[in-house]
Structure 1
Amino acid sequence: MSGVAMTAILLGSGAARALEKGAGGRWPKLAPPQSPRVSHVIEQLGRTRDDAYSWMKFIPAAGERTRENLPEAVGTMLKAENGYADAILAPLAGERAKLLDAMLARVSGDVTAPALERDGWNYGSARPAGAAHAIYTRSRTGGKPEQLVDEAARANGQPYFRSTGHQPSPDHRYFAWAEDVIGNDRHRIVIRDNQSGEVRTIVDKDAYGYGGLVFGPSSRWLFWIWRDARNRPTRLYRTSIDGKTTDLVYEETDPAIFMQVKRTAADGFVALTLAGPETGEVRLVPAADETAAPATVWPRKVGVRYEIDEWNGGLIALTDADDAFDMALLRLDPKDFRTLATLVPHRPGTPILQIQPFKSALVRLERVDGLHRLVILRPDGNEQTIAFDDPAYAIELPLEQSYAASSAMIVHQSPKSPRRWIRVDLASGKQTVVQQQKVANFNPDDYQVERLFAPAPDGEMVPITLLSRRGAPKDGKAPLLQYGYGSYGVASDPEFSIPALALVDRGWRYAIAHVRGGSEKGRQWFLGGRKFTKRNSFTDFIACAEHLAAEGYTAKGKIVAYGLSAGGLLVGASMNIAPTLWGGVIAQVPFVDMLNTMSDGAHPLVPLFRPDWGDPLADPKAYDYIVSISPYENVRAAPYPPLLCTAGLKDDRVPYWEPAKLVAEVRHRSTSGNPALLHTDMDSGHQGSADLASEYGQKALFWAFAMRCV
């Protein structure tokens, strides 16, 4: 097909005419792009399917996707889709600007967290008032701050910038971080010499920044993880600080294993964690010999996951061994790794989420009845619990805290309570608020947070966190945005959100549906929405919306569903099951082409996540189940609500063609005439650039779209 013919098909015969108002004046009347349906028959496990939009998929032979190397048909399609989306959304420009202004107006002065103290140095970061990026500093107590990184300067001239992994060396001579200037999650690693001020790139490409770099205990080596051509973290390297020597420490050959590296709490080891959804293995490099081959703690075994740290002169393991599915905490012999004692036994329904060792106590973060609590375990076995009275809230336990500290820093927040940094004395449990997030023109008493429970079809009670203006009537008139994720055991915690406040201030309610597939109620809650029980996630999400409508918080047709990544699968499937329940659907970089993606063994995440979704290449049962729930395969002739999907051209996790195919199929089959939109960021990947204006700007677009939907 010629480029001219493709353009004509995609742009549609009405693309050049002036915008007219659609039915009811809600949307401009403009012919959408019509992507051609090209038969592509696939035979698999004795089953046959026709993927009519398979031509949208493009993987370059080498390097990342760019505007320049896209096939003509794909480039034309994405250009047409962006043009159409821009035209349909153009009337929302005024509302988007108001929403963005309202969000930015709430950001008061510097956005900063209190510094964390390490060996007399206070390390912190702040985003100056009106700035898009942070500045990292260190200082002695009472001394003048020393600038370590000015991210605005690093981002200058780059179409994309996101950094991670900021950390000092144990001797404080150096400061390192990883940065992505392409948008494909492949990082370079940068080191600053704090004596000379010299900044240099020590790893120029292909590093994995998310938990993928750490200084060795001696500060003479940097351990870092390398990503292969398929973007999988597969090797651990050790590079000398001068950059002259790089040695391979370990290479993983199983594509279903993920890697992370850290120093243990007392700097006794470098720990390489190798993990999959149902297995784990930790290899330790001792501080006494940083060039030694890593020693395996427990060989990996299917059904056993574990993490290793050190405390009180020995090693500790957080593990689900021996059916401890919500985790137990064990003490190990540091020489032969035998189990010496159980520090915290397994308690079903009370999952241990994180441990943070200190010299004088071991702090753990866990859930009880779906809500966080902190527990301080002291060497004598005495425990003290720290919890809060809010109906719904979240606690964070920041990493990189000094092992020698006499107090632990935690962060508390709720949908109506800005972030508070609280210092908890490890001896007494006394709490001292060190700092609170500044929010302008904000009174928490103007808002109400409720924790509700929706009955699922099988009788399970699904938690809901609901944010409203205080005193808002339950008369069924308020529109509501319902967010959900529900995959990989990732919980959707009830956090403070300035964008959510901006929407609620417009008369909306904001709900988080804590559906199965997440971990809000522990490991069993996750397993209840995984693989062959995945449909529970969708019916839970629908049950939450129906319950909120039945209780008068909103009404059917006035609910807009919002999901991100695997949350896009959630809202896409829920849209197929109950299209008239939703006033609109927002799917951000959505995973919606399940069958074709899970049938692609070359995809960087497919081997890792087969335990979560099944293997349609080898298992007929998995094939049939995925076919029955995949959003792309289950679009039908029905009155679909307005749909807005986003994508990133350089996204290797959920590539642009997944939402592109869903949008094309919805247009092909929907009977409502409502718009189905795809907007692709041509400069980003799975995440947008890390600046406040970009983040809030996207939320303003989503909220304006939602407001037009209902």
Structure 2
Amino acid sequence: MNPPNAAKRPVTSTHHGVTITDDYAWLRADNWQEVMRDPSVLAPDIRAHLDAENDYTAAEMADTEVLQAALFVEMRARIKEDDSSVPAPDGPFAYATRFTEGAEQPLIVRTPREGGAETIMIDANKLAEGRAYFRLGGADHSPDHKLLAYAYDDKGSENYTLHVRDIESGTDLADIIEGTTGGGSWAADSKTLFYTVLDDNHRPCRVYRHVVGTPKADDVLVYEETDPGFFLGVGETQSARYILVDSHDHETSEVRLLDAQDPTGALRLIAPRETGLEYSVDHKGDTLYILTNADGAEDFKIVTAPVAAPGRENWTDLVPHKPGTLILDMTVYQDFMVRLERSGGLPRIVIRDLASGAEHEIAFDEEAYSLGLGGGYEFDTTSIRFSYSSMTTPTRVYDYDVATRTRVLRKEEEIPSGHDPDAYVTRRVFAPTADGETVPVSILYRKDTKLDGSAPLLLYGYGSYGITIPASFSTTRLSLVDRGFVYAIAHIRGGKDKGFRWYADGRREKKANTFKDFIAAGEYLAEEGFTARGRIVGWGGSAGGMLMGAVANMAPELFGGIIAEVPFVDVLNTMLDDTLPLTPPEWPEWGNPIESAADFQTILSYSPYDNVEAKAYPPILAIGGLTDPRVTYWEPAKWVAKLREKKQGDAALLLKTNMEAGHGGAAGRFDRLKETAFSTAFALKVTGKV
């Protein structure tokens, strides 16, 4: 079957004296906002091209269909189908999520803490019936435990419809609010609900107050964000005393308080936005606890301020800034504060007694691991919940008593088909870079895998927004490792693995460090015998997909294959289009090529789509979602069209567009496994492991 060749319809534009021509701009639907809400209105010529690409990909991957089926079966066999979360207590009830055997979607349930029958508050499987796509959003119960605010997206466009359900009767009330970001925050009266709506360009921009039982037309605008570069959200403190209205982009934040006991009251600004100033807020009594990078605290510090006078002039250091120890998160309870930190590339949990100031850590032994704080509903408690895993150790959920310093294992991820951690090795190595840095790399392989350069290697990376890819457990990657692959995660600049500096050194004018770090990690792993050059399959999604496009341009000979999921590859055109949902909020991350000639040149220098050349590329699989509001479907479509025009040789070049999903792919847990099996089969095919 011949590959589709997209028509060339040149569109020329000039910026800062530089003229660029985009031959495939026509793949961007003029009515993209409408397509997000109703995919059926996509222009016929665009749909025909995407369908042709899907048909070609299916034909090229037909020889792996048996393998895909086998991979799906073994991946599914590692999932406990009738699984449930550890119930989270709140007053008279404990709330949980669970799955029934064979079900794609979860149940949201609760049980009385003193014993009694379970109540199924939401059966998402019933809600999903008859829908090609369904994803449950927030499900938040009211303080009096009588009502549940829940939301769902049935297009994949992250445009959620909000409902209110009477928990006891199981019936939905007449309250229906469309165009929200999902979920809501309840006031103390259990009848007032705050929610965030999207504008026509899919940006969260307004917070409204809704009184249950009243028409949506009567909802009151609480706050409107007029700067298109800022996203707006609503939440609450752990104490539940205050509603938080948060405006932010990638480097600046601004928070307002509303007394949850006075839902019609006025918002109180904590500190006005100041470019580069970030902060988040929690509360106890008359005191606010603020996590911030103020006053040059690059790796953040924690300060306190009086609720009555929360301005910066009243901020007092509680946990001072410690360079190299990044404070990731904090939660304040009645008698203590818990914070999650990262030092030396690894996370740790620190407990602070609020009365005495005494602190202690929760210790862990493995060389590389992942930690997560589980939150919880209750404020006056002595217990916290956290999760722990490593690349060999399945996820374990613990309850930890801060007074007795004892932990109780509440749940360990069960692998029904069996898993022997001792059959695997996890390591942390450091790859040197040309500019004198060292890149942490987390590695997983079977003990019987020969490290003589013969093994194929899957190298995963992201490297943007300060996001750290944890060295956590994954059941799906075992399908590669059990077939002789080495699996590695490159903790490259652009993430915060080695503190905020690591992030700053991989953004804007320093973005090229992200790509160079990934290539350095691959070269080092080949030199050390974990694999060989040309035996590496790169895998990344979203901004990690941009990474894949960049390294394919920069070092194609290093890779035996590239898997780019929802790849952000048309960086320059996207950052020049201020109507797109994420463009203005993303300028602090990438630069503003509309206003700045320097930013324009920087982005032009690495944007994968703009740097495709006439040369041999490794096999490439690009995956997109038609209703994706984050990385629009036309980015991978245009990239593949240009690659097909320019590339030399006969290496596979495949585009798969999910015509019924968005950024996260399929919403059902088993449908997602099928997508993972497809990509895994591609990795096995291009490395000769089929």
Query: TM-score category by the smaller chain?
Result: over 0.9
Moved more, 487-496 or 306-315: 306-315
Q: CA offsets, 1:2-27, max 9 Å, x none?
A: xxxxxxxxxxxxxxxxxxxxxxxxxx
Aligned match of 2:71: 99
User: Structure 1 pair 493/61, CA: closer, same or farther in 2 (3 Å)?
Assistant: closer
Aligned match of 1:376: 351
Equivalent pair of 2:546/2:608 in contact (CA under 8 Å): yes
The alpha carbon displacement at 1:108 in A equals 2.7
Q: CA offsets, 1:90-144, max 9 Å, x none?
A: 1110111111111111113422210000113110111122221111111112222
The alpha carbon displacement at 1:486 in A equals 0.5
**Distance (Å, rounded) in 2 between the aligned partners of 1:56 and 1:656:** 9
Q: 2:335 is matched by which residue type in structure 1?
A: S
Q: CA offsets, 1:225-284, max 9 Å, x none?
A: 000010000000010122434111000100111122111111211011111122111111
Aligned match of 1:117: 89
Count of residues in Structure 1 that have an aligned counterpart in Structure 2: 679
Partner of residue 188 from structure 2, selected from 217, 228, 238 = 217
Matches within 5 A, 1:490-501: 490-501=467-478
User: Structure 1 pair 67/332, CA: closer, same or farther in 2 (3 Å)?
Assistant: closer
**Distance (Å, rounded) in 2 between the aligned partners of 1:410 and 1:201:** 38
**Distance (Å, rounded) in 1 between the aligned partners of 2:614 and 2:315:** 62
Q: 2:471 is matched by which residue type in structure 1?
A: P
The alpha carbon displacement at 1:470 in A equals 1.9
**Distance (Å, rounded) in 2 between the aligned partners of 1:350 and 1:375:** 12
Aligned match of 2:234: 261
Q: CA offsets, 1:468-498, max 9 Å, x none?
A: 0124221111111111111111111112111
The alpha carbon displacement at 1:201 in A equals 6.1
**Aligned with 2:467: secondary structure?**
coil
Equivalent pair of 2:375/2:384 in contact (CA under 8 Å): no
Aligned match of 1:556: 533
Aligned match of 1:24: none
Aligned match of 1:640: 617
Aligned match of 1:699: 676
Aligned match of 2:401: 425
**Distance (Å, rounded) in 2 between the aligned partners of 1:32 and 1:67:** 24
**Aligned with 1:112: secondary structure?**
coil
User: Structure 1 pair 201/88, CA: closer, same or farther in 2 (3 Å)?
Assistant: farther
**Aligned with 2:547: secondary structure?**
helix
Aligned match of 1:155: 128
User: Structure 1 pair 431/67, CA: closer, same or farther in 2 (3 Å)?
Assistant: closer
Equivalent pair of 2:452/2:530 in contact (CA under 8 Å): yes
Q: TM-score, normalised by structure 2?
A: 0.96
- Gaps of at least 5 residues in structure 1 are 1-29
Partner of residue 171 from structure 1, selected from 144, 159, 165 = 144
The alpha carbon displacement at 1:526 in A equals 0.6
**Aligned with 2:208: secondary structure?**
strand
The alpha carbon displacement at 1:312 in A equals 5.2
The alpha carbon displacement at 1:67 in A equals 4.9
User: Structure 1 pair 250/442, CA: closer, same or farther in 2 (3 Å)?
Assistant: same
Matches within 5 A, 1:401-416: 401-416=377-392
Q: 2:85 is matched by which residue type in structure 1?
A: A
**Distance (Å, rounded) in 2 between the aligned partners of 1:568 and 1:206:** 28
The alpha carbon displacement at 1:72 in A equals 2.7
Equivalent pair of 1:325/1:348 in contact (CA under 8 Å): yes
| Residue 572 (str. 1) matches residue 545 (str. 2) | no
**Distance (Å, rounded) in 1 between the aligned partners of 2:276 and 2:83:** 43
Q: CA offsets, 1:653-689, max 9 Å, x none?
A: 1111111111111111111211211111111111223
Q: 1:703 is matched by which residue type in structure 2?
A: T
The alpha carbon displacement at 1:580 in A equals 1.0
Q: 1:134 is matched by which residue type in structure 2?
A: P
**Aligned with 1:68: secondary structure?**
helix
Q: 1:100 is matched by which residue type in structure 2?
A: F
Q: TM-score, normalised by structure 1?
A: 0.94
Aligned match of 1:335: 308
The alpha carbon displacement at 1:639 in A equals 1.2
| Residue 41 (str. 1) matches residue 17 (str. 2) | no
Q: 2:213 is matched by which residue type in structure 1?
A: D
**Distance (Å, rounded) in 1 between the aligned partners of 2:464 and 2:27:** 26
Partner of residue 581 from structure 1, selected from 530, 542, 558 = 558
The alpha carbon displacement at 1:467 in A equals 0.8
**Aligned with 1:417: secondary structure?**
coil
Equivalent pair of 2:289/2:332 in contact (CA under 8 Å): no
Aligned match of 2:371: 395
Aligned match of 1:609: 586
**Distance (Å, rounded) in 2 between the aligned partners of 1:161 and 1:454:** 42
| Residue 537 (str. 1) matches residue 514 (str. 2) | yes
**Distance (Å, rounded) in 1 between the aligned partners of 2:667 and 2:319:** 39
Matches within 5 A, 1:60-139: 60=31, 63-65=34-36, 66-139=38-111
When the two chains are superposed, the root-mean-square deviation of aligned CA atoms in Å is 1.4
**Distance (Å, rounded) in 1 between the aligned partners of 2:33 and 2:409:** 51
**Distance (Å, rounded) in 2 between the aligned partners of 1:182 and 1:589:** 16
**Distance (Å, rounded) in 1 between the aligned partners of 2:214 and 2:67:** 51
**Aligned with 2:122: secondary structure?**
strand
Q: 2:330 is matched by which residue type in structure 1?
A: I
Equivalent pair of 1:109/1:438 in contact (CA under 8 Å): no
Partner of residue 244 from structure 2, selected from 262, 271, 284 = 271
**Aligned with 1:546: secondary structure?**
helix
Aligned match of 2:209: 238
**Distance (Å, rounded) in 1 between the aligned partners of 2:39 and 2:396:** 43
User: Structure 1 pair 53/201, CA: closer, same or farther in 2 (3 Å)?
Assistant: farther
**Distance (Å, rounded) in 1 between the aligned partners of 2:389 and 2:213:** 42
